[in-house]
Chain A
Amino acid sequence: EDKVVQSPLSLVVHEGDTVTLNCSYEVTNFRSLLWYKQEKKAPTFLFMLTSSGIEKKSGRLSSILDKKELFSILNITATQTGDSAIYLCAFRTQGGSEKLVFGKGTKLTVNP
């Protein structure tokens, strides 16, 4: 059965800290891995990763995928209170009808 496991499930840090969120997966038809940020409403897209070892960056956020070890990490440097959110990892299947399978998320709280 395909699954995505995120850790930690929750994390509390102070502004300015650097955090690393983890996502491991077991899938049979892997196409890509995606990261989303969810605040009060709908998840918003952060990154899509398809190739091992290539880091994607957007400002203070970066992510990398290891297809051999089946995991991905999301780094946030110099955290701000606006980074407080649930961060969701998902993999996208390939072949036939594509769909996203999500992990349970990591709830990040950044305190001033």
Chain B
Amino acid sequence: NAGVTQTPKFQVLKTGQSMTLQCAQDMNHNSMYWYRQDPGMGLRLIYYSASEGTTDKGEVPNGYNVSRLNKREFSLRLESAAPSQTSVYFCASSEDRGRDGYTFGSGTRLTVV
């Protein structure tokens, strides 16, 4: 099925460990996004990429890095995980100036202990 695929779905890390969340979309969208969602906080933008080769910081970028590997893939890396990064992470993609809303992946539930 067409859409946004995130891996892994669940992950537990120890404080200080690193990991990369993967995201791929097959809709030929130019723009891709990483959000985190915490209880009572809605979705907050971490980083986004308007096109292959470009990335920009969002509202809460500290502690994260991203890579727009190609048009399909946009990864999020935690270099040294902290308990404050325990959250649900969503990747999304959109057409530029599209008529519809963003398409979201199913999310990654990350726990840092």
> Does B bind A?
yes
CB pair A45 B100 closer than 8 Å: yes
> Is A60 in contact with chain B by the CB < 8 A criterion?
no
Interface string of B46-83 (1 = CB under 8 A from A): 00101000101011000000000000000000000000
Q: A88-B42, A104-B40 known; A42 and B97 CB under 8 Å?
A: no
CB pair B42 A97 closer than 8 Å: no
In angstroms, Cα B43 to Cα A6, docked, is: 13
Please indicate the chain A residues that have their CB under 8 angstroms from the CB of B31 in the complex: 97-98
With both beta carbons as reference points, the residue of chain A lying nearest to B55 in the complex is identified as A97
With both beta carbons as reference points, the residue of chain B lying nearest to A31 in the complex is identified as B97
In angstroms, Cα B58 to Cα A102, docked, is: 12
Please indicate the chain A residues that have their CB under 8 angstroms from the CB of B40 in the complex: 9, 104
CB pair B41 A48 closer than 8 Å: no
> Quick one: which of A4, A42, A101 has the most chain B CB within 10 A?
A42
Q: Count CB-based A-B contacts (< 8 Å).
A: 59
Residues 70-89 (chain A) with a chain B CB within 8 angstroms: 88
> Quick one: which of B45, B50, B99, B101 has the most chain A CB within 10 A?
B101
Please indicate the chain A residues that have their CB under 8 angstroms from the CB of B97 in the complex: 98
Would you mind naming 9 contact pairs between A and B with Cβ atoms under 8 Å apart? Answer: A4-B42, A42-B104, A42-B106, A43-B43, A45-B100, A45-B102, A48-B99, A99-B48, A100-B101
In angstroms, Cα B95 to Cα A48, docked, is: 14
With both beta carbons as reference points, the residue of chain B lying nearest to A45 in the complex is identified as B101
Size of interface on A: residues with Cβ below 8 Å to B: 24
Please indicate the chain A residues that have their CB under 8 angstroms from the CB of B102 in the complex: 45, 100
In angstroms, Cα B113 to Cα A15, docked, is: 41
Known: A100-B102, A102-B44; 16 extra A-B contacts, CB below 8 A, are A6-B42, A34-B101, A41-B106, A42-B106, A43-B43, A43-B104, A45-B101, A45-B102, A45-B103, A48-B100, A98-B94, A99-B48, A100-B45, A100-B92, A103-B42, A104-B42
Please indicate the chain A residues that have their CB under 8 angstroms from the CB of B58 in the complex: 99
A-B pairs, top 5 by smallest CB distance, nearest first, are A45-B101, A42-B104, A97-B50, A104-B42, A102-B42
